[in-house]
A and B are shown apart, each in its own frame.
Chain A
Amino acid sequence: MKTVLSYLSPYKWLVITALIFMLIELSVELIQPLIIATIIDDGILARDQQTIIFWGSIMLALSFIAFLAGIINTFIASHAVQSYGYDIRQALFKKIQSFTMTTFLKFPTSSLITRLTTDVTITQNVVFMGLRIMLRAPLLVVGSIIMSFVVHPYLALYLVIGAPFLVVFLYWMSRRGLKLFGKVQRSVDRVTRKIQENLQAVRLIKAYLRGSFESTRFEKVADSLKVDNVTAFRIMELILPVLLFVMNVSLMAVLWFGAKEIQIGNAQMGEVVAIVNYATRMTGAFSMFAFIIIFFSRAKASSERMEEVLLEKEGIEEIDTDSPYSPTGIGEIEFNDVSFHYPTTDVPVLKDVSFIVTPGSKLAIMGATGSGKSTLLNLIPRFFDVTKGEVLINGVDVKEWPLKELRQVIGLVPQQSILFTGSIEENLGWGDSNATEELLREAAKQAQIHNSIEQFPDQYDTRVGQKGVNLSGGQKQRLSIARALVRKPEILLLDDSTSALDVSTENALWGALEDEKATMLVVTQKIRTAKGADQILLLEEGRVSAYGTHDELMESSSLYREIAESQQEGDNYVELHS
């Protein structure tokens, strides 16, 4: 909670001002009964119209002051709350952006979304309440207790006799609430996750006619959210009845012992009545108290979730450090005895991999499905850190590189084309917002997508639908390639990203890429593509099985020959088009 609250500190003056105005409002509210009493006693009862009008006007004036104070308080409080919300969202999002890919494995997308929206809102609500009404209840309670002690300490003692019990009870309840509401938020995560999954797989679900199956699965998570909510609120709603009961019983005690005191002459009737009045007022404030505790423990649960993100220490990478140190070179890549396993398992994906790619040359990486090809590429932009060995770019360990610089020299085209909402042009310039239109077109031409774009109704302004639904697989692949080329990378990493291209398009693409001086790492299934590379790295279950040129491997590697054979049918290459 502390960390989250610290985001309020820039607005401490606003908070203080809001509180001052709230106190003004509150004091008017406290004076009002006195004025009303005066109007009744001195005005109405005494049939004195002058007094009525005089005090009436004062009351109106004070009400107006309270009104103004209230309006100003509202204004300032909502400003503070919304600014706080903005700041904390910003901080959370920034922190999330600095997560390493490993950390992302720990926090599912859906959970991050909930933390950035619902959790923030829940804490905002509490702060807003705090600035407007929260202080009122405690002040009323404390004020009433003090007043009753002033009136008659002995009797007042009975009024607070339940206090220790209540304190323990409320403390216990807020602890329970924290746990219960934390559970509720986790259920919200799951609901969000289920919906996200369904949206992503909408075609699959429809194709397999699994609508009702999915609904049943969703009902399960929705039901557990319901149960968690019901449990949490049912327990928390105990607060008010219990508080009221304890207060009312204390009141009975006051009356009983008050009667006795009056009998012995230790107390006046008026004193007892006064204490009874204070007790009733306290009881009224208690209903607000119950409300506050529910909201507060909810907010606490939410802020703990936000703090989990904000205070995440491991798995953070620097973004945007403009380091003066910029390793120079022209794209040399070296893997030195690299082993790797994903943080979630112990199963090694890469074992003792070593190779060097000289600047400007092209390395093809081949291997069976699941042999570690994509993982190997992921180690270069340091999405993951090697478990053993080192990856060197331009002779410098990637761990020593400033991340931004490192990724600046790399152009990555992932296996699954990820496009963003926006126009084609925006997607092309996505990696370099300063790129000129000319540059974008040039990259599009190189990636062999220019002609296709020209044929779209809005050409470069054509909107890319949600996750690129309106584009074919090959078009998406070529767009991602163009997007990487716009940045003029020294190192180009292509993760099987020409799989959906037909032969002639692909040939043209490789031809166009020849002009690029970039060092290329190309994961591919196709012998034909591999043949065009300077060297071929063949992976087998994470190990380097063979390394060399096509001809060398045809000689030395039986696995490579097997792959080649699988693509040979008579004189023909097996692959035809997308």
Chain B
Amino acid sequence: MLNFIRKPFGYEPIVTKEDLKKSNKKKVEKASDWKGVLSRIWKLVDEQRFLLIIVLLLVVVSSALALLGPYLIGVIIDEYLTKSNFAGLAKIIGILVIVYVFLSVSMYLQSYWMIGISQQTIYRMRTGLFNKLQKLPVSFFDRRQHGELMSRMTNDIENVSQTLNSSFIQVFSSILTLVGTTAVMLLLSPLLTVITLTIVPFMYFAMRWITRRTSKLFKEQQQAVGELNGMIEETISGQRIVKAFSQESRMLEEFSVKSDRLKRTGFWALTYSGFIPKVMNLLNNASFTLVAAAGGILAYYNYVTIGEIVIFTEYARQFTRPLNDLANQFNTVLSAIAGAERVFTIMDEPEEVDAAIDNKDYKLIGDVTFENVTFRYNLEEESPIIQHVSFHVDAGKTAALVGATGAGKTTIMQLLARFYEVNDGRILIDGIPMDQLPRHTLRSQTAFVLQDPFLFEMTVKENIRYGKLNATDEEVINAAKEANAHDFIRKLPNGYDTILTADGGEISQGQKQLLSIARALVADPALLLLDEATSSIDTVTELKIQEALERLMEGRTSFVIAHRLNTVRKADLVFVMEGGKLVESGDQEELLKQKGLYYNMLTNAKI
């Protein structure tokens, strides 16, 4: 048994520098910015502030009623109990019942409204964070683990929610009682009040000692939760691979390392913060003894009357209760601040820069120029993934990108969709530098079929309609037919209304691609980007949709990465990429005449 008690001492405080460096280079153990966080939460409370004031008024009312009750009971005991004045007793009991009705009602109303306020605030925080995520550049998401971001959205915000729900009222009513009692104490005896207050500096130092540790620990704890979340998300999403390679036990081991970290930080956070009420109790008792002892001496020399001391000690005890409550609330507030801070960190991330010029209604013609474009995903990388690429595609033409894997074809596509900003050189659309074109203008007129098809957890119909939100059912079905998806959709349990489950294996990869093509078909864009749009589709089906794709490309500037020679051959222009450089470009004939890489590819492809 001794071992069980000794065990907790075996913990070591967590090393965090490294972790912090990993997640945030600038911040090395920076304490929480209280004021900033609180004022931002206050901003989120927004138009509910008026209601909040009503809640505060109700707290005042219920505090007053809560005091009135005992006072009236005192009156009953003193005046009525022995005097057999039942008529008077009935009257005063009647009054008391009314007081209690009001007390209960006002208590309920204040929590009723407070819950509304806090949940509305949380709702704003959550949707605000989500909206923010929509505005962040793609590169932000490349760096972060999904699960970790998800944790901020749930665990961290949940922390704030808990605190807002209950702590706000409690903190206010504690302060109210504290101020009230101090006032009464001052009235009774300023000297004894000063003696009572001598514990305040001790409290301050004790609290500082504790919160210095906890505010850091709470942050670490939230971070540990985030990392654990990241790991869980990744493992469960990749469960097929975990199973195929029978790595379950190793995953369990890795999980236990992260889980253990959470356990350790959690242990210290809980322990230190759990000290608060204990310390408070001790100081309170010390203060009481001090008052009693000092009061005794003072009474001895007749500085104060005995009655005063008796009443005073009663109040001194009253004084400590709200202090205790405050100290306890302090804890929850601390952990909420740690959570809120993590949310606000994301809120402060730089957003995608957008063109200032407002030419929303600009209709894209589709003339595309790359001027000496250089790009790397990570600035620390030595060799850029795209190096000095220049080309021009006239509006309405189709350009095929060819080259070995890793040559930079997909990256060109991603730059065209402006997922990333070029490091050097520029991209011009219709002669306008891309960064002067609002994203909205560009993307609303671009359709992108990505290499990895993704479907949302909604009906097939809605998934296709994603390309054009106001598409009619007919348009959707036509697009599905053109993409050769109609037949398999009809065979689904609920046809077009079948809800697709993201993790579910009922739809094959090829079928997902067909649906993504249908999605692009309804979009009716000026610029079309097809990145291996048909890679998982069998060649017979592919032939069938080829025609639809060609019709789609007709008159639209299109960039295509495809393995079908047919598609490449029908392109107006071919760009051959190698190692991030554009090595050959031109129309079919030119390139074949050059007898270079493209020529070799074509001849190699022969049997």
Contacts and interface: CB of A to CB of B under 8 A. Distances in A.
Contact of A44 (B143, B309, B419): B309
A63 B540 contact: no
B306 A44 contact: yes
Interface in A26-45: 32, 36, 39-40, 43-45
Given A245-B100, A381-B243, A569-B566, A109 B233 contact: yes
Given A86-B260, A344-B506, A245 B565 contact: no
A452 interface: yes
Interface in A216-275: 218-219, 222-223, 225-226, 229-230, 233-234, 237-238, 240-242, 244-245, 248-249, 251-252, 255-256, 258-260, 262-263, 269, 272-273
Contacts of B82: 262, 269
Contact of A457 (B241, B310, B381): B381
B563 A499 contact: yes
B33 interface: no
A513 interface: no
Interface string B501-524: 111111111110110000100010
Top 9 A-B residue pairs of the complex, sorted by shortest distance between their CB atoms = A474-B405, A369-B510, A211-B134, A70-B278, A74-B274, A63-B285, A207-B448, A78-B270, A241-B104
Contacts of A75: 8, 271
A121 B263 CA distance: 11
A575 interface: yes
Interface in B105-134: 105, 107-108, 111-112, 115-116, 119-120, 122-123, 126-127, 130-131, 133-134
Given A128-B270, A578-B409, 14 more contacts: A17-B5, A47-B296, A64-B282, A74-B270, A90-B255, A94-B252, A114-B154, A204-B454, A215-B134, A241-B104, A256-B93, A347-B491, A469-B142, A578-B405
Contacts of A528: 607
24 contacts: A52-B293, A56-B289, A66-B282, A89-B262, A96-B236, A113-B233, A132-B274, A195-B130, A201-B456, A214-B130, A240-B111, A259-B80, A368-B541, A370-B488, A381-B244, A403-B246, A407-B246, A410-B244, A420-B234, A421-B230, A500-B451, A526-B539, A572-B602, A575-B564
Interface centre among A14, A101, A201, A207 (most CB of B within 10 A): A207
B588 interface: no
Nearest to B454: A201
Nearest to B383: A457
A118 interface: yes
Contact of B299 (A44, A96, A501): A44
B167 to A, nearest CB: 12
Given A101-B505, A566-B543, A571-B607, A71 B278 contact: yes
B583 interface: no
B443 A209 contact: yes
Given A128-B270, A369-B537, A193 B101 contact: no
Contacts of A383: 240, 243-244
Q: How large is the interface on A (under 10, 10 to 19, 20 to 34, 35 or more residues)?
A: 35 or more
A226 B119 contact: yes
B107 A240 contact: yes
B404 interface: yes
A352 interface: no
Nearest to B511: A370
A577 B381 contact: no
Contacts of A251: 73
Interface in B197-242: 225, 228-230, 232-234, 236-242
Contact of A234 (B115, B230, B250, B403): B115
A133 to B, nearest CB: 9
A45 B271 contact: no
A300 to B, nearest CB: 17
Interface residues of B, number: 193
Contacts of B126: 191, 222, 225
Contacts of A66: 281-282, 285
Interface stretch (A167-175, A411-419, A544-552): A411-419
Contacts of A74: 270-271, 274-275, 278
Contacts of A1: none
Contacts of A234: 111-112, 115-116
B431 interface: no
Contacts of B406: 452, 471-472, 474-475
A463 B233 CA distance: 19
A546 to B, nearest CB: 14
Contacts of B593: none
Nearest to B537: A369
Nearest to A11: B4
Interface stretch (B24-32, B44-52, B144-152, B391-399): B144-152
Interface string B532-576: 100111111111000000000000000001111110100000000
A71 B309 CA distance: 32
Given A421-B145, A500-B535, A578-B563, A44 B93 contact: no
Interface string A557-578: 0000011001101011111111
Contacts of B443: 206-209
Interface string B382-393: 110000000000
Contact of B232 (A93, A108, A199, A452): A93
A574 B562 CA distance: 10
B248 A98 contact: yes
A247 to B, nearest CB: 9
Given A63-B286, A573-B605, A230 B119 contact: yes
Contacts of B244: 381, 383, 407, 410, 412, 414
B134 A90 contact: no
Contact of B245 (A53, A96, A487): A487
B606 A571 contact: yes
B377 A470 contact: yes
A237 B69 contact: no
Contact of A196 (B5, B77, B233, B310): B233
B195 to A, nearest CB: 13
A576 B565 contact: yes
B506 A345 contact: yes
Interface in A56-81: 56-57, 59-60, 63-64, 66-67, 70-71, 74-79, 81
Interface in B70-118: 70, 73, 76-77, 80-82, 84, 86, 89-90, 93, 96-97, 100-101, 103-105, 107-108, 111-112, 115-116
A105 interface: yes
B286 to A, nearest CB: 6
Interface in A309-367: 319-320, 342, 344-345, 347, 366-367
A191 B69 contact: no
B564 A319 contact: no
B539 A563 contact: yes
B252 A93 contact: yes
Contacts of B158: 118, 188
B591 interface: no
A226 B563 contact: no
A62 to B, nearest CB: 8
